[in-house]
Structure formats: structure tokens, C-alpha cells
């Protein structure tokens, strides 16, 4: 297609669309003509030739990125993985979860147990300085992700805050089998369950963990229940509704989704957390409704995990312990395009049973306890710091204090023996004296060195 013909087609489409939408208040025709003028100028005068496909893709991506942080364009190669072999390749990783921080080293906040990174001795709290000898602070998040996929092994240069050491490791990529839910009995007969993400089978997996534990205990109720939703980025909303429902009476309001022109309410009823209306929670023991409950939170708890906390907090069923959550209270719909790609579009905001928004607010813990006794390791870029975030209420954004001392930073595995927040949660359940650490202090995780 030559440029002149392409512009004529575009203007023709513009004319048709503008007549179809003539009733609209805004002047669609004028705006599309404006777009066509820019399109033509780029095609005719830019230093480099740009293909029609690239122009269209960049325009779509730009429109979506300007809306809010979670509306985005999804290329065809990322949208759908149908081939099981492709799915396996997609899951070949080293077993870490990281937080991208612009112009800074990348924070490792999770190391999956028995993964290649775990076996190599990588710790939560380690900072990635380089990937394949390229400085992370100078790369975009997408560029870093691509570097992780380029070779069979990933060469990392890491700074370890607890020892001030520089570590170099080449870690072989493998197919990662994620264990999304873990459960164990702690001292004083407290049941600990951690959910890492809300996936399609999370409700069934949760019920299986609880029922098998109940059988092993011959129906004896635990003295307390700790639900760990730290580092849980969310996932499928229905799974979150189901997990919240497990602890609440039937027909209890869980969450309200407010769209542009309507709102939807979801309750503790099978049809609201299961497409087929099957009561997936029917086999849970009765003590799950009454056992004293603590939910652990941190700055990486987001979306569906915040939905769960909001419902349990509003109904006074649980005590939230930890740090303020991320604050993503929006819902995205994936809309496929005819060309095989797709867009993710923000279509709703969700509200807790007491009509409080989570969006750019987060869940504030009932008892604030820092990540470690020295302060918080996980200085997340909360929703309210993201460009173009949806802001329904003004929030006090006074920055917390940042400690400059990195030499004593305590690195630990969530759910492990040295997990400060978990230790305090157990003490709270036992009505013992507990520590809160320094919940308003973030430890300086940017090393002072030249590398």
C-alpha cells in the first residue's frame, strides 16, 4: 500500500466513523482528521520509514497507556499460549519474583522453594545489579525480562544488603512447578496457610489443604489461623471472593464492582465464586468460621488479595497485621482483537462491604508491623505513585523515613523461622507481648558503591 492510498483509506474510514457517531457530543470527525494529519506527517517526513503496522500498534499502545497504569496493549505473541510446548517454554524460569524500580537495582522479594535460584543460594532482599553484564538501572522492565529469556542460563550480578557482598551467579533455567498454596501447623497449634496468587484452582486447592489438615487432626480445631497474603499480586477475582467466603457466613456481602454505568455486588454464595454455581466450600470444617484469624499483608499484596482483606476487615472477622497494601482496586477486561492481539482495559473499581475503595488507598493494617525489626525491606511503588493512576480520594502521601544503614538488613524467607511478621502474628494470637518493629521506616535498599 502506498502512502497516498493509505491516507485516502484512513480518511475514508474516518468519514464513515464520524457519520456513524454524529450524535456524539465530541467532534469525532475532527479528532480523527487530526490523527490522520499526524499519521501522514510521520509517514512522509520522519527520518526513518515506519510501517503501517508499527504506526497502528504504537497508536493503540499510546492511547491505552495514557488511560491508567493497567490498561495496556497485549501483542499476539503474549496474548495466548495454546501449544503445551510453548507453555512449557514460557514457564522456564530460575524461580524468583522481582520488583522493577526505575533507575535502581531490581529487588528480589520472593525465591521459590527448591527452584534453581533457591538452590543457588539467592535470598529475598537481594538486589540484581546486572543481568548478562548489562546494568539493570539503565534498562526498561521489558528489556530486563527479555534478557532473562535469551539464554539457557541467566548470569546475575547481585548485591546482598545483609553482608554488603557482591555475588555473581549463573543460574540454569528450568520448568518451574509452582506450589501456590502451602500449609503447616506452627507452635501453639496455630494453622498457617499461605496463598501466593489467586488462580483458577485456588479455591479447590485451599479446600483440599484445609480438609486434609482437618483429617490429620481428627477434626480438632486449631487455636488460631494465619492467612498469609504477602507478596500476593492478586489474580482471578472469583477466587478471591471464594477465599473470603470461606471465613464468613453465607450470603455475606464480599465486594461491590462499580462500572461506568452500573454496579455489581458479590456475596458469599456459590454462584458468585464459581461459574457453575457449585458450592466448592461445602466440605470445609465448621471451625474455619470461628477460629481467631490473622491475615498478613505487605506492600506487594494487591488486587484480589486486597479484596479478601477488605471483606474480612470490614466484617471484623480478621485482624490485618503487617504493612499497608499496594492499592490496586481496579478490574481489567481482556478484549481480543481480530488480528490476534488484545487489549487490557480498566472497566471497574471495587469497593469493600463498607463502601471503602481500595484503589490508590490500599488496606491499612489493624496492627502495623514492619517487614523486619529494623524496618521495611519491601519499598513498593504503590498504586498512588504510578503515572495516570485512578484517584477517587486524596491520600496523605507524606513520605516515610528512609534509613541509610544497610549493613544490618535482615534477609529472610516468608513463612520461615526468621520471619519477623509471622513471629509477631503468633504472639498476637496467643495474647503475648509482641513487637511492631519500625513500620514507618524503609531500609535503604540502594547500595552505595560503584560497579
The confidence score (pLDDT) of residue 132 equals 94
- Please state the pTM of the whole predicted model: 0.83
Beta strand 106-111 with 96-99: parallel, antiparallel or unpaired?
antiparallel
Structural domain including 111 reads: 91-175
Q: Has residue 183 got a pLDDT over 50? A: yes
**Of 73, 106, 130, which residue constitutes the final position of a domain?**
73
| Residue 387 near residue 424 (C-beta atoms within 8 A) | no
Question: In the structure, what pLDDT confidence band is assigned to residue 77 with cuts at 50, 70 and 90?
Answer: confident
**Of 47, 73, 99, which residue constitutes the final position of a domain?**
73
Structure confidence by residue, pLDDT tens digits, 47-63: 999 898 999 999 999 99
User: What are the grid coordinates assigned to 153, written together?
Assistant: 542460563
Structure confidence by residue, pLDDT tens digits, 138-150: 887 778 888 998 8
The confidence score (pLDDT) of residue 360 equals 87
Using DSSP, state whether 424 is helix, strand or coil: helix
84 in a structural domain: no
Residues 278 and 357 in one domain: yes
Which candidate in 303, 305, 330, 370 is catalytic?
303
DSSP 8-state assignment for residue 261: S
Question: Between the CA of residue 277 and those of 205, 242, 243, 327, 350, what are the distances in Å?
Answer: 17, 12, 15, 30, 22
Residues 163 and 185 in one domain: no
User: Quick check: is 396 catalytic?
Assistant: no
10 in a structural domain: yes
CA dihedral 17, 22, 28, 32 (to 10 degrees): 30
Phi, psi of 37 (to 5 degrees): -65, -45
- Which of 305, 336, 335 has its CA nearest to residue 318? 305
Which candidate in 228, 245, 328, 371 is catalytic?
328
Structure confidence by residue, pLDDT tens digits, 377-390: 765 557 766 767 77
The confidence score (pLDDT) of residue 421 equals 97
Structure confidence by residue, pLDDT tens digits, 317-333: 999 999 999 899 999 99
Question: In the structure, what pLDDT confidence band is assigned to residue 25 with cuts at 50, 70 and 90?
Answer: low
User: Quick check: is 303 catalytic?
Assistant: yes
Q: Has residue 408 got a pLDDT over 70? A: no
Determine the distance from the C-alpha atom of residue 195 to the mean position of all C-alpha atoms in its chain, rounded to a whole number: 13
Burial label, 167 (beta-carbon count in 10 A; 0-12, 13-18, 19+) = middle
Q: What is the mean pLDDT of the chain?
A: 85
Q: Has residue 105 got a pLDDT over 60? A: yes
Q: What is the C-alpha separation between 246 and 313, in angstroms, rounded?
A: 14
Residues 127 and 192 in one domain: no
Residues 220 and 140 in one domain: no
User: What are the grid coordinates assigned to 157, written together?
Assistant: 550480578
Residues 167 and 187 in one domain: no
Q: Has residue 404 got a pLDDT over 50? A: no
295 in a structural domain: yes
Sequence-distant (≥ 6) Cβ neighbours of residue 92 within 8 angstroms: 173, 174, 175, 176
Residues 314 and 210 in one domain: yes
Which candidate in 228, 272, 314, 419 is catalytic?
314
Q: Has residue 191 got a pLDDT over 50? A: yes
Amino acid at each position: 500500500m502506498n502512502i497516498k492510498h493509505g491516507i485516502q483509506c484512513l480518511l475514508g474510514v474516518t468519514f464513515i466513523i464520524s457519520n456513524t457517531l454524529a450524535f456524539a457530543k465530541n467532534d469525532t470527525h475532527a479528532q480523527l482528521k487530526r490523527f490522520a494529519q499526524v499519521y501522514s506527517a510521520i509517514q512522509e517526513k520522519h527520518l526513518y520509514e515506519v510501517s503501517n503496522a508499527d504506526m497502528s500498534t504504537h497508536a493503540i499502545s499510546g492511547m491505552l497507556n495514557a488511560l491508567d497504569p493497567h490498561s495496556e496493549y497485549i501483542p499476539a505473541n503474549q496474548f495466548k499460549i495454546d501449544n503445551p510446548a510453548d507453555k512449557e517454554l514460557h514457564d522456564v524460569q530460575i524461580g524468583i519474583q522481582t520488583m522493577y524500580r526505575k533507575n535502581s537495582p531490581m529487588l528480589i522479594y520472593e525465591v521459590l522453594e527448591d527452584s534453581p535460584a533457591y538452590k543457588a543460594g539467592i535470598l529475598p532482599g537481594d538486589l540484581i545489579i546486572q543481568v548478562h553484564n548489562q546494568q539493570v538501572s539503565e534498562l526498561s522492565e521489558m528489556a530486563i525480562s527479555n534478557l532473562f529469556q535469551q539464554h539457557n542460563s541467566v548470569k546475575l550480578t547481585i548485591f546482598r544488603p545483609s553482608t554488603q557482598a557482591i555475588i555473581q551467579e549463573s543460574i540454569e533455567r528450568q520448568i518451574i512447578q509452582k506450589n501456590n498454596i502451602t500449609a503447616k501447623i506452627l507452635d501453639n497449634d496455630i494453622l498457617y496457610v499461605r496463598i501466593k496468587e489467586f488462580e483458577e484452582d485456588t479455591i479447590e486447592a485451599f479446600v483440599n489443604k484445609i480438609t486434609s489438615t482437618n483429617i490429620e487432626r481428627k477434626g480438632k480445631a486449631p487455636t488460631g489461623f494465619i492467612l498469609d497474603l504477602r507478596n500476593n499480586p492478586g489474580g482471578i477475582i472469583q477466587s478471591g471472593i471464594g477465599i473470603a467466603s470461606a471465613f464468613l457466613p453465607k450470603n455475606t456481602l464480599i465486594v461491590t464492582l462499580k462500572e461506568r454505568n452500573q454496579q455489581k455486588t458479590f456475596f458469599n454464595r456459590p454462584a458468585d465464586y464459581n461459574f457453575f454455581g457449585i458450592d466448592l466450600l461445602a466440605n470445609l470444617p465448621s471451625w474455619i468460621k470461628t477460629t481467631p484469624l490473622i491475615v498478613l499483608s505487605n506492600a506487594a499484596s494487591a488486587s484480589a488479595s486486597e479484596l479478601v482483606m477488605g471483606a474480612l476487615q470490614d466484617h471484623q472477622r480478621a485482624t490485618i497485621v503487617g504493612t499497608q497494601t499496594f492499592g490496586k482496586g481496579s478490574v481489567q477486561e481482556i478484549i481480543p482483537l481480530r488480528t490476534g492481539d488484545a487489549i487490557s482495559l480498566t472497566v471497574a473499581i471495587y469497593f469493600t462491604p463498607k463502601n471503602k475503595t481500595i484503589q490508590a488507598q490500599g488496606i491499612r493494617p489493624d496492627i502495623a508491623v514492619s517487614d523486619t525489626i529494623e524496618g521495611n525491606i519491601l519499598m513498593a511503588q504503590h498504586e498512588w505513585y504510578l503515572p495516570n493512576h485512578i484517584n477517587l480520594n486524596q491520600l496523605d502521601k507524606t513520605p516515610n523515613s528512609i534509613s541509610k544503614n544497610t549493613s544490618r538488613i535482615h534477609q529472610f524467607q516468608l513463612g520461615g523461622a526468621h520471619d519477623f511478621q509471622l513471629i509477631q502474628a503468633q504472639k498476637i494470637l496467643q495474647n503475648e507481648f509482641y513487637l511492631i518493629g519500625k513500620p514507618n521506616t524503609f531500609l535503604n535498599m540502594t547500595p552505595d558503591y560503584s560497579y
